[in-house]
Structure formats: C-alpha cells, structure tokens
Amino acid sequence: MADQADVETALAGIVGGALYPGGLEGGCAVSGAICRIYRGWPTPAALDADLSAGRVNVSVAGVAGSARLTTRFPDQWSIPNPVQPALSAAVSGLVATFGGTASIGQLAALLVDGRAAVHRTAPGDTPASVAAALAAELVQVGVPAAASGASVAIAAARSVVARVTADQTAVRETRRQQQHFAVTCWCADPATRDAIGSAIDGALSGIDFVGLADGSSGRLLFVASVTSDRWEDAVLYRRELTYSVDYATTITETQPAMIVGGSQISPDGATIANVLG
C-alpha cells in the first residue's frame, strides 16, 4: 500500500538523484559537498556533529496537521501493470504444445469438445510437466489424451483449444489525501545551503507526479520556500522547501485469472453458472 512513508521515501530518492546524479561514486553535484539524505528530522547531537565536520543534512518529513481528505474516485479494483504469462501454448490439429517458462502464478488449460482440464503451475513445473498434468486430467474426464514431452495429443476431437494466463496484482484506492512535505537543507555555511537548496528545488520543480512503490503516483505542487539564518544558530544555515503531494492510500492483492468459463441452461430456462479455473 502507499502511505506517507512511501511519499517521503520517493521524495528522498528524487533529492538523492538531484544531488548525486552519477551515484555516490560520482560525487555530489555541488562541488565539495558531502550530504546525508534521510526521512524524518535530525537529532541535535548528530546534526551538530555533521555541521562541525562540514557535512550537509537533507531531511524529508511530512508536515504535521497539513493533511486533508481529497477522495474523489470510485472505490474499485484496477490492474495498473498487467502481467503477461511466461508460459505459451499453441495448437496444431489435435496436438497442443506448451513452451516458455512455467513459473508459479500461472494457469494452463485445454478445452476439448467442451470438456476442460486446468493446471495451476507449481514450483519446479516445466512445459513438459504442465502437459503431463493436463493430459492426465483430460483422461479423468473421458478425453483420450497422451503427453509426449511438452505436447498433448488428443486421439479424436472436433475442437481443441489451449490457453494460458497469469495471476494479476490488483490495486484498490481506499482513500486520497493531500499533504505537505518539508524538504529541509541543514548546512554549515550559506553558500552551500544556497547551492544545495537550488539543486533540490530545480529537480522538484520539474516533476508533476511522484511515482510510489505500489505503482500509483502523487501530484506534486510547490507550496513555499523559507530560508533561516538565526543568530543563535551561528553554524546552522537552513532552507526549507515545502511541497504538497496529493496521493492515494491503496491496498493490493493478487487476483487469480479465470481461464475457462461457461454456462448451462436448466430446463426451466434459468442460467446455472459453470466456471472452471
């Protein structure tokens, strides 16, 4: 699910990319600067030690009391990133052949003259083991079938259909909110503060949507920028950038796919569901 922690993590990642575009090995984009980037607020002792050593701290934290409910979309399941099955199936005449990878979370089916065999892949499965399982299941429902390697041969039939599908990760938005997040630069001198703040603000200003871990995204909008030079903090120069993020709280689940379905009509005309797979 996506929540405040995911937004803070995503913003910290953007900050890290702005300050270290070539990774840690490439050094900071602000020459000579060494930065710590993290969620939450610094502890006074750790911050004092870093500032004394010339290290920059950049913290990312939600602003207390800033969240407001913005729910406006239907509460329904969706599949943002459909998964294609790694297993394949093809039919030539009365022979069905399976290929690809029989990784877990997939279904394979054979439909022969209205009678179905369905196999859910298990750890260690291969196209050959899938074919063997389907052939055995067809025999149990009265269809003469035999497996040879990754193929299943049907002795006699009018119609042979082979199908494969994969389980899908579905997402449901349970709530949407807008919240302010403070990206704070804690520096030992004003020149470094200005350079670090400018690099971060430039990166965030070019982003409209923040991608989150669950596949959803949050709308990013600028709110404020405040510079602090307080005389009682003689070695602390701070810039706080505040952005709002409109994001969804979501839940996810793995949903099995239907691979073979049908219906029967009873003598009185009522429809009786008959779903396989």
118 in any annotated domain:
yes
Provide the H-helix boundaries in 42-123: 44-52
User: Is 102:128 a contact under the CB 8 Å cutoff?
Assistant: no
Same domain, 70 and 182: yes
Each residue's pLDDT tens digit in the chain (277 positions)? Answer: 678 999 999 999 999 999 999 998 889 999 989 999 999 999 999 999 999 999 999 999 999 999 999 988 777 888 888 999 999 999 999 999 999 999 999 999 999 998 999 999 999 999 999 999 999 999 999 999 999 999 999 998 999 999 999 999 888 888 999 999 999 999 999 999 999 999 999 999 999 999 998 888 999 999 999 998 765 555 789 999 999 999 998 888 898 888 887 545 556 655 444 444 4
Same domain, 65 and 49: yes
d(CA 85, CA 130): 14
Same domain, 179 and 146: no
For the stretch 15-25, pLDDT in tens is: 999 999 999 88
Same domain, 24 and 155: no
Same domain, 64 and 198: yes
Domain closes at, from 136, 166, 196: 166
User: Domain of 58?
Assistant: 4-74+172-251
Q: Which amino acid is at 77?
A: W
User: pTM score, two decimals?
Assistant: 0.69
Q: How many folded domains does the chain comprise?
A: 2
User: Is 105:121 a contact under the CB 8 Å cutoff?
Assistant: yes
175 Cβ contact list (under 8 Å, min separation 6): 69, 71, 248, 249
272 in any annotated domain:
no
d(CA 208, CA 195): 23
d(CA 255, CA 191): 54
